[in-house]
Amino acid sequence: MVSLGRLIDVWGTPEFNRVAKAELNRLPAGVLPLQQGLKQSSHVSDEPFSVVILNVSETEEELRIKCSVFYAGIIAGCSCADDPTPTGTINEHCEVEFLIDKQTTELSVCKLI
């Protein structure tokens, strides 16, 4: 489980967006549904991803942070010496919603688009 208690601490302050972006960009890639968001490639690249915050809302139980995630994918070939598949990366994008429980500070992630 990933805990983001720092975001609960800064919620409602001018620092929230800056801290939220930094914390979300530090998440392990495995926490995000990046593989499910691929549209043009077949595997997620090891390159870093970037989170852009679109909207933040609050319920009694949680903070909801809707984000665009920009990352790179690759089209995997057979890796043979004569494989004509290019090894470059392809830009990918998906939208996710981060849900942070106010009591436990635990994070859950939902893929939106």
Average per-residue pLDDT for the chain: 89
pLDDT surpassing 70 at residue 113: no
Give the domain ranges of the chain: 5-111
The two tokens of residue 30 are 């495995």
C-alpha–C-alpha distance, residues 32 and 30, integer Å: 5
Q: What is the pTM of this model?
A: 0.85
Consecutive H or E run containing 95: strand 89-101
Query: Minimal CA–CA distance to 31: which of 113, 108, 105?
Result: 108
pLDDT surpassing 70 at residue 93: yes
C-alpha–C-alpha distance, residues 38 and 15, integer Å: 32
Q: Using alpha carbons, list the distances in angstroms from residue 87 to 1, 39, 45, 49, 74.
A: 34, 17, 11, 18, 7
DSSP string, 35-77: GGG-SS-SEE-SSPPEEEEEEEEE-SSEEEEEEEEEEEEE---
Please state the rounded mean pLDDT for residues 82-93.
77
Length of the chain, in residues: 113
